[in-house]
C-alpha cells in the first residue's frame, strides 16, 4: 500500500468503535514515522501525513473526537522540533516585539502576493474569483473554532475576556443569523459555490497551513497560538475590504457581501484588543522568542500555500471558456 492508503487504513481502524489500545498506538506510530520522514525530504510522506492530520483536525464526529485529538497531539512535538527559531534578533520588550511583529506582517502580508494584486487591482475573471472564494471558505469557516481551541487551554481571565469577546462577535453577538460562517455561506450560495463544513482542502500546501493553525491554537505555550491569531486578525480588515471591493466591482449585490463588509471594519479592533493580552505575556523573553518563531513559521507556510493557489487560479483561467464581450462583469 502507498503511505497515504496505509496510514488511512490504520487511522480508520483506530477510530472504529471499540478499537483496541494497540490499534490506536499503531496509528500514532505510523503517523509519527511519516512526519519524521516528511521532515527528511520525503514528499510522499509529507502529503500523506498532512492529509491525515488535516482529517484528524477537520472531522466533526463527536464519537471520535478524543481519539482524533490524541493522535494529532502525538505528532505535535515532532512538528515543533523541526520548526527553526526566528531569524530576527531577540527583542527586549513588548514594544520591540510589537514593532518586529508588525514589520514582519507588513512585509509578508498576503495582500502583497501576486495573486492578491491580480484579484484586488487587476481584472480577475468570474472563474478566478469563484476558485479564490472556494479556498477562502476553507480558511474562514472554522476560524471561530481556532478561538475556542485556544481559549480552552487558558486560565487567565484577562485573556479569556478578550478571546470570548472575539468569539461572541464571531457567533453573531447573540443573533445566530449574524454569525460569521452563515454570512459567508450567503455569499457562497449566491455564487453557486459549496459552503458546507464537510468541504475539504486537498492541496497539501493548504492542509499544511491549516494544520499549523490548529497545532498552534492547541499548544500549551500560548505564544504559538497568540502569534497565529494575531497574524490573522492583523490583516483581516484590509484583506476583507479588498475582497469586498473586488466583489462589488464584479457585480455581487451588497447583501451577499455582508461578511466582507463587516470584517473590513471590525477586525482591526480584534487585533488591537488581542495585543493587550500579548503585551502582558511579553514580559517573558521566552514568550517573545516563541511568538516570533511561530509568526515566522506561519508565514513560511503561507507563502507556498498562496503560490500554489495562485498557480491553480491561473490554470482555471486557462481552461475556462471565454466570456462573451457583452457579458456583465459579475462573479457567479
| Statement to judge: residues 208 and 118 lie in one domain | yes
Helix (H) or strand (E) segment spanning residue 274: helix 258-281
First-to-final CA distance of the chain? 41
State the pLDDT at residue 236.
Answer: 86
Reported as a pLDDT band with limits 50, 70 and 90, residue 322 is: very low
Query: How far apart are the C-alpha atoms of 158 and 278, rounded to whole Å?
Result: 11
The model's pLDDT over 214-252, given as tens digits with 9 standing for 90+, comes to 999 999 999 999 999 999 999 888 899 999 999 999 999
| Statement to judge: residues 108 and 201 lie in one domain | yes
Is pLDDT of 325 > 70?
no
State the pLDDT at residue 327.
Answer: 39
State the pLDDT at residue 329.
Answer: 36
| Statement to judge: residues 204 and 310 lie in one domain | yes
Contact 183, 175 (CB under 8 A): no
CATH number (domain holding residue 222): 1.20.910.10
Whole-number Cα distances in Å, 321 to 126, 127, 324, 329: 11, 9, 9, 15
Give phi and psi for 161, each to the nearest 5: -60, -40
State the pLDDT at residue 3.
Answer: 74
Contact 181, 263 (CB under 8 A): no
| Statement to judge: residues 75 and 117 lie in one domain | no
Q: Give a yes or no: residue 331 inside a domain.
A: no
Q: Give a yes or no: residue 88 inside a domain.
A: no
For residue 163, the SS3 value is helix
Is pLDDT of 323 > 50?
no
**Mean pLDDT of the residues in the chain:** 92
State the pLDDT at residue 185.
Answer: 97
| Statement to judge: residues 117 and 258 lie in one domain | yes
The model's pLDDT over 112-155, given as tens digits with 9 standing for 90+, comes to 899 999 999 999 999 999 999 999 999 999 999 999 999 999 99
Pick left, alpha or beta for residue 237 (phi over 0 → left; psi -120 to 50 → alpha; otherwise beta): alpha
Query: How far apart are the C-alpha atoms of 245 and 287, rounded to whole Å?
Result: 38
Domain housing 236:
94-319
Q: What angle do CA 301, 307, 313 make, to 5 degrees?
A: 135
The model's pLDDT over 53-77, given as tens digits with 9 standing for 90+, comes to 999 999 989 999 999 999 999 999 9
Domain end residue (candidates: 47, 81, 115): 81
| Statement to judge: residues 126 and 69 lie in one domain | no
Query: How far apart are the C-alpha atoms of 256 and 331, rounded to whole Å?
Result: 12
Reported as a pLDDT band with limits 50, 70 and 90, residue 177 is: confident
Q: Give a yes or no: residue 332 inside a domain.
A: no
Q: How far is CA 294 from the centre of its chain?
A: 14
How many structural domains does the chain have? 2
State the pLDDT at residue 268.
Answer: 64
Contact 166, 225 (CB under 8 A): no
The model's pLDDT over 268-314, given as tens digits with 9 standing for 90+, comes to 678 899 999 999 999 999 999 999 999 999 999 999 999 999 999 99
Q: What dihedral angle (degrees, nearest 10) is formed by the CA atoms of 10, 203, 240, 171? A: -20
Is pLDDT of 1 > 50?
no
Q: Give a yes or no: residue 326 inside a domain.
A: no
| Statement to judge: residues 65 and 172 lie in one domain | no
What is the model's pTM? 0.93
Of 177 and 36, more confident: 36
Contact 291, 278 (CB under 8 A): yes
Domain end residue (candidates: 57, 81, 105): 81
Handedness of CA 267, 272, 277, 283 (dihedral sign): positive
Amino acid at each position: 500500500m502507498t503511505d497515504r492508503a496505509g496510514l488511512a487504513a490504520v487511522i480508520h481502524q483506530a477510530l472504529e468503535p471499540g478499537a483496541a489500545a494497540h490499534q490506536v498506538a499503531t496509528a500514532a506510530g505510523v503517523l509519527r514515522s511519516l512526519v519524521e520522514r516528511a521532515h527528511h525530504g520525503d514528499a510522499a510522506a509529507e502529503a500523506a501525513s498532512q492529509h491525515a492530520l488535516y482529517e484528524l483536525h477537520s472531522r466533526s464526529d463527536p464519537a471520535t473526537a478524543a481519539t482524533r485529538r490524541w493522535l494529532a497531539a502525538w505528532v505535535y512535538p515532532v512538528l515543533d522540533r523541526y520548526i527553526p527559531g526566528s531569524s530576527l534578533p531577540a527583542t527586549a520588550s513588548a514594544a520591540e516585539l510589537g514593532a518586529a511583529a508588525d514589520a514582519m506582517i507588513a512585509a509578508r502580508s498576503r495582500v502583497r502576493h501576486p495573486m492578491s494584486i491580480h484579484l484586488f487591482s487587476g481584472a480577475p475573471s468570474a472563474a478566478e474569483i469563484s476558485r479564490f472564494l472556494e479556498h477562502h471558505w476553507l480558511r474562514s469557516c472554522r476560524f471561530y473554532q481556532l478561538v475556542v481551541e485556544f481559549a480552552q487551554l487558558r486560565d487567565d481571565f484577562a485573556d479569556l475576556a478578550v478571546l470570548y469577546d472575539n468569539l461572541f462577535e464571531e457567533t453573531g453577538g447573540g443573533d445566530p443569523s449574524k454569525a460569521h460562517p452563515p454570512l459567508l455561506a450567503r455569499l457562497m450560495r449566491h455564487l453557486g459555490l459549496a459552503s458546507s463544513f464537510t468541504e475539504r482542502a486537498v492541496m497539501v500546501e493548504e492542509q499544511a497551513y491549516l494544520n499549523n493553525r490548529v497545532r498552534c491554537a492547541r499548544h500549551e505555550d500560548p505564544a504559538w497560538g497568540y502569534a497565529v491569531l494575531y497574524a490573522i486578525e492583523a490583516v483581516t480588515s484590509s484583506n476583507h475590504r479588498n475582497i469586498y471591493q473586488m466583489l462589488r466591482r464584479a457585480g455581487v449585490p451588497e447583501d451577499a457581501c455582508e461578511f466582507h463588509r463587516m470584517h473590513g471594519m471590525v477586525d482591526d479592533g480584534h487585533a488591537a484588543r488581542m495585543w493587550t493580552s500579548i503585551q502582558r505575556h511579553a514580559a517573558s523573553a521566552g514568550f517573545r522568542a516563541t511568538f516570533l518563531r511561530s509568526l515566522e513559521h506561519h508565514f513560511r507556510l503561507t507563502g507556498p500555500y498562496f503560490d500554489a493557489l495562485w498557480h491553480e487560479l491561473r490554470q482555471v483561467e486557462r481552461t475556462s471558456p471565454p466570456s462573451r464581450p457583452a457579458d456583465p462583469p459579475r462573479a457567479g
